[in-house]
Chains A and B, each alone.
Chain A
Amino acid sequence: MVMLICSPPMEAAYKNLMHDTFRLGPPLSLIFFAFFFVSACRYKNQEKIAIVWSGNQATGISVPIQLLKDEDESPVVPELEVRLQNTPAAMLGDYSISDGVVLFRPLIPFSRGLRYQIFYRKKMIGGMTIPVANASEAPSLVAIYPSADTVPENLLKIYLQFSSPMREGEAMRHIALLNSKRDTLEGVFLDLQPELWNKDRTVLTVWLDPGRIKRELAPNLQMGNPLQNGESYSIAVSDHWKDVQGLTLRQPYSRKFFVGPRDSLSPQHREWKMEIPAKQTIQPVKISFPESLDYFLLAETISILDKDGSVIKGKIHIDPEERGFAFLPEKQWHPGRYRMHIAPYLEDIAGNNMERLFDRDIRKAQTSTGKEVFEREFIIPRQ
């Protein structure tokens, strides 16, 4: 067991774990666990400078102390520097000593494909290149939402979903909207910094410029709606877009879509069709809509409750073109009344939610209900 634990990758992992206990404050048991194994594992007999990995990130460099000794003198760690090759500045980071090595952890992980040099008392004592990531792990564009091939001319949002975490801050360099003549349209997307990524950086929300969609706002009058009814367009995603490991997308992507009339209506939940499952089954209740709704909001805004008001546990599967969904319960349906709750902020793909339109004509009477939730009832029959 000790042999296994003290193999270099595991050893590095436990080293990192040790640092993380100070950084992350996990449960006590983890601290004791970490300290126990750290005390058992050493960088025994390490003779060379080595990269320390945390998962697929190079988060440190370990330097054997004997490399820092000058004849009779013992090493002075503050005189150790790690530099990116061809730059004069020492990298910022954290040095610590234990078990015969100095461990340097930079503020951010080392970059794949770049070379680093280690200096002691201004003299280079070693260098290393961080290997590029395995090309087989290259990211792909999993989905573009809305997935329908026809969208309203006041389409507000597009979601791009990737297979692995992507780099932030460069989306506008890699996404383009082309018209039917294959001309790239300028000023269509809102250039937001920071970009709207989800926590694990796999889903990006891109807004079409709302200033151009909002009627009679200066950008709308000056440049017009980004999309025109009756036209076709393509959204193109460049294969130069890199993931967090520095790997580019597997291939460029392009999807053609058509544009229909403006959508100036809120989603009408009373028009949704329901397909009711039989009792004592785990068949889904199926809902279909006359229009496409927002893919990500659907999963967030819908809940099914039993007659006592308890939320039924289950999963929602969104239909193609986001024109419906199936709710699959974890447990069998019992006969009786159920309610489907819809949060008022569920939107169609033009940004009209259950309560209000994306832009309201204030000369017309407002029909806001002030409801906290919209509801549809259904009954699982006894027969």
Chain B
Amino acid sequence: MNLGERSYFSAFTDGIGIFVTRFQNRYTEKRINDQSKQTFMKKTYFYLAIIAGSLLTIAAVHAPTNRASVADIKSISALTFGPDGVLFIGDSKSATVFAVNTKDVKKQKPTAIEMKNIDQKIAAALGTEATNITITDMAVNPQSKKLYIAVQASEGTPVLLRLEGDKIEAVSLKDITATAVVLNNAPAEDAKDQRGRSLRISTISDLGYSEGKLLVSGLSNHQFSSSFKSIPYPFTSKQDEATLEIYHAAHGRYETSAPIKTFTTAVVNGRKYLVASYTCTPLVLFPMDELKPGTHVKGRTVAEMGSGNTPIDMITLKNGNESFLVLANTKHPVAKVDYKNIASFEGTLTEPVKGTAGVNFTATPMTNVSQMDKLDDNQVVLIQKKSNGDVDLFTANGSSL
């Protein structure tokens, strides 16, 4: 462990962050054997305060409006990578998506990522027990092929970790630039109860990035409806974001707006679609070119995946020239859907059915998968609770699922 290592919440602007780091390194990476150095240090605190204050003033005046402090991250609900090592961090507690440049851009060939009892190992690295942490999401950097893991401690502190081989390390964002987009930029509307507590409850359920756009789906306590945004990236001070009303029909009879739990994008019959799964497990397709600001878009329900279940993660994998959708669920096993079948299913579910319906899907033997992301076009990284209670991280070939 390096001296001077700091949590990624520690820095608040680039200039200050680097300055502090250098300052710390100056005093911490060297052996301390000289009292005079400590005296010098006391004086330097005072000068540092003045310089730091000046730098902060400069930063405050000149920072772009969407420049963000990673210190403001209150929670990590969702992760996804964008272009060139940019990691999008969905922070439900502050209703903000942070885009941080990890600078982790060295291209690497994918190698299987594995760690047995990952929950216990992460807990030990954080100095607690596995029951005191929750792995909230994970994402593979498509360039470095390293796995980034978001963890939340039971008392609420969010942590971003990265696996380096069999080593767990903290992702220090102290020298990393970040921008952010606030999803619910209406603090004035944030109602408080009689004791002054905020009543608004919302979470970011999933993030995706496709062709220059960050896609965000959300859940909220105050409306059972879809909160889906498409936000151009890089973020600008003037956001041109599309908030969509997305509806889907149950068997052509009842229409509801409902929150999307997880989604991916895929090309079906030469057209790009948003493939979304809902809290009540219908699989619904929306043409991407119809998702425009302020539009009321009705999706095409192509499958119902069964009851008592919530989808967790969704990815698209390839097997030769064929591509298929892989869907992890809370109750049901991991399901695979061949995009050929989705392409040939031109209609929408119209007749009430019991159980599952629509496009055929294959239920794999893989149960109790809590996290999933693609390592490359053919391989998937999963966290699964085994029958003996162990929680393992491993890599599987998509075609063998």
Checking A81, A156, A199 against B198 with a beta-carbon cut-off of 8 angstroms, the contacting residue is A199
B2 at the interface (CB under 8 A from A): yes
| CB closest residue in chain B, given A201 | B156
Contacts of A210 in B (CB 8 A): 224, 258, 279-280
Q: Which residues of A contact B201 (CB under 8 A)?
A: 196-198, 203, 205, 296
Q: Which residues of B contact A323 (CB under 8 A)?
A: none
Contact B12 A25 (CB under 8 A): yes
- Return the CB mask of B381-392 against A: 1 if under 8 Å, else 0: 000000000000
Any B CB within 8 A of the CB of A87: yes
Q: Are B136 and A74 in contact (CB under 8 A)?
A: no
From residue B37, how far is it (CB to closest CB) to chain A in Å? 10
| Residues B322-371 near A (CB distance < 8 A) | 330-331, 352-357
User: Which A residues lie within 8 Å of B17 (CB)?
Assistant: 22
Q: With an 8 A cutoff between CB atoms, is A92 at the interface?
A: yes
Quick one: which of A88, A96, A221 contacts B353, CB cutoff 8 A? A221
Chain A residue with Cβ nearest B126:
A108
Q: A244-B156, A315-B194, A359-B254 are in contact. Are A300 and B199 (CB under 8 A)?
A: yes
Q: Could you count the A-B residue pairs with CB atoms below 8 Å apart for me: how many are there?
A: 304
> A101: shortest Cβ distance to chain B, in Å?
11
Bound-state CA distance A221–B16 (Å) is: 59
Assembly CA distance A192 to B220 (angstroms)? 12
Complex interface residues of chain B between 92 and 149 (CB less than 8 A to chain A): 92-93, 121, 124-129, 132, 134, 136
B2 to chain A, nearest CB (A): 6
B251 to chain A, nearest CB (A): 5
Question: Hey, which chain B residues are within 8 Å of A309, CB to CB?
Answer: none
Count residues of A near B (Cβ-Cβ below 8 Å): 107
A87 to B136, CA, bound (A): 23
- With both beta carbons as reference points, the residue of chain B lying nearest to A97 in the complex is identified as B28
Task: Find out whether the CB atom of B12 lies under 8 angstroms from the CB atom of A24.
Answer: yes
What residue of chain A has the Cβ atom nearest to residue B41's Cβ?
Answer: A98
Is A15's CB within 8 Å of the partner chain B? Answer: no
What is the number of residues of chain B that contact chain A, defined by CB distance less than 8 Å? Answer: 106
**Contact of B193 with A by CB under 8 A:** yes
**A35, A168, A200: the one within 8 Å of B49 (CB):** A35
A110 to chain B, nearest CB (A): 6
Query: In the complex, what residues of B have CB within 8 A of residue A169's CB?
Result: 134, 152, 154
Please report B residues at the A interface, Cβ cutoff 8 Å.
1-7, 9-13, 16-17, 20, 24, 27-28, 31-33, 38, 41-42, 45-46, 48-49, 52-53, 56-57, 69, 71, 74-75, 77, 92-93, 121, 124-129, 132, 134, 136, 152-157, 159, 161, 168-170, 189, 191-194, 197-203, 219-224, 249-258, 279-282, 304, 306-308, 310, 312, 330-331, 352-357
Interface contacts beyond A22-B20, A96-B4, A110-B127: sample of 20 additional A-B pairs, CB < 8 Å, sorted by A = A24-B12, A25-B12, A25-B13, A89-B121, A89-B168, A90-B125, A92-B125, A94-B5, A95-B4, A98-B41, A108-B153, A191-B330, A192-B279, A192-B310, A193-B136, A194-B136, A194-B152, A210-B258, A222-B355, A362-B255
Give 17 pairs: A residue, B residue, CB < 8 Å, sorted on A: A23-B12, A28-B53, A32-B49, A75-B31, A92-B161, A94-B7, A95-B1, A97-B32, A108-B127, A109-B155, A116-B127, A193-B312, A194-B77, A198-B199, A205-B201, A218-B355, A218-B357
10 tightest A-B CB contacts, nearest first: A211-B280, A219-B307, A74-B33, A35-B49, A300-B191, A25-B12, A205-B221, A187-B308, A244-B155, A108-B153
Query: Which A residues are within 8 Å of any B CB, using their own CB?
Result: 19, 21-25, 28, 31-32, 35-36, 38-39, 57, 65, 74-78, 81-84, 87-100, 105-111, 114, 116, 156-157, 159, 165, 167-169, 186-187, 190-203, 205, 207, 209-212, 214-219, 221-223, 242, 244-245, 294, 296-297, 299-300, 315-317, 345, 347, 351, 353, 356, 358-363
